[in-house]
Amino acid sequence: MDYVGRFAPSPTGPLHFGSLITALASYCEAKSNQGQWLVRIEDTDIPRIYPDSEQHILRCIDAFEFVPDGDILFQKDRLEIYEDVLVQLKAQHDIYACQCTRKMLGSNAIYAGTCRDLNLDFANQAIRLKVNDEPICFDDPLQSRQCSNLAEDLGDFVLKRRDGIISYQLAVVVDDYLQGVTNVVRGADLLDNTARQIWLGHCLGYPELNYLHLPLAMNADGRKLSKQNFAQALDPDNASELLSQAAQALNQPPLDLDRPSTMLAQAVAQWQRERIPQSTILSQIYQ
């Protein structure tokens, strides 16, 4: 089967070193499998968009000389597509409207299905996908076999929020399918979402994807590099040095300092997935 991979950042903050690790690993996996590598900007969560981060992502793609195989896709231009998928799910009786507020549900509560049989009108309500009481499992080459029972672990989950925002779960599954993605390479912080995405894909009759969840880059305090922790933004003027550090963080053979496109070609040529550290903490520290 032809390999199609992707890098799908959300513009909720500037790209940081952890994002570069994901970009590099997803690129090398795709290219070493003679595959395509796509870029998608996941910008459905408009209230969480961080000023100028979209421009920073695009500047970094350019500066690191990553060349996507196809136009960069922006999810905010695709809202009608997601709405059409909701129509399909509604016709299949897989979704329902939910009037529970966050306050009613508490913070970490497993959703008890309170609104499942209320037949509420869909307008101005959250939309939830019904889940099954069965384990959903997948084999991740780095994280081993993962299983989750969505009914026990989570309950019916939200595909569209009451404020009209399409959830990450819905947009990511629909776009991976429509873009012909076969392989998802992303940080292990997203591991928790995968069972939900497999289940939604199953409800929609989409083929299953292969997943590889990368160990997370941590800062010197042992905290995950993240936008929320104000991880330092990638410096597009220091692309070659950062690429070399990212390859090192993935425990790949060293890259010769050169222009980024030459380094990327070398990274692909000497890519060895089995060398990626298995644990979810990378020893390489960048802050």
Q: Please name every residue paired with 127 in a beta bridge, in sequence order, or none if there are none.
A: 97, 160
Q: Does 196 bind ligand GLU (CB under 6 A)?
A: no
9 belongs to the binding site for ligand GLU (CB under 6 A): yes
State which residue, 197 or 244, has the beta carbon closest to ligand GLU: 197
Does residue 136 bind ligand GLU (CB under 6 A)?
A: no
Toward ligand GLU, which CB reaches closer, 174 or 190? 190
| CA dihedral (231, 232, 235, 241) positive or negative | negative
Phi/psi at 204 (nearest 5 deg)? -90, 0
- x/- mask, ligand GLU, residues 29-58, rule CB under 6 A, reads -------------x----------------
CA torsion, ordered 84, 89, 92, 97, to nearest 10 deg? -120
User: Would you say 147 is a known binding-site residue?
Assistant: no
Using DSSP, how many helices (H) and how many strands (E) does the chain show? Answer: 9, 12
| CA pair distance 242, 252, nearest whole angstrom | 14
As a whole number of angstroms, the distance between CA 168 and CA 44 comes to 7
Question: Which x/- pattern over 72-111 shows residues binding ligand GLU (rule: CB under 6 A)?
Answer: ----------------------------------------
In this structure, what token pair is assigned to residue 157?
A: 């989950």
Site string for ligand GLU, 160-189 (x = CB under 6 A): ------------x-----------x-x---
Binding site for ligand GLU (CB under 6 A): 8-10, 42, 172, 184, 186, 190
Binding site for L-glutamate, residues? 6-10, 42, 168, 186
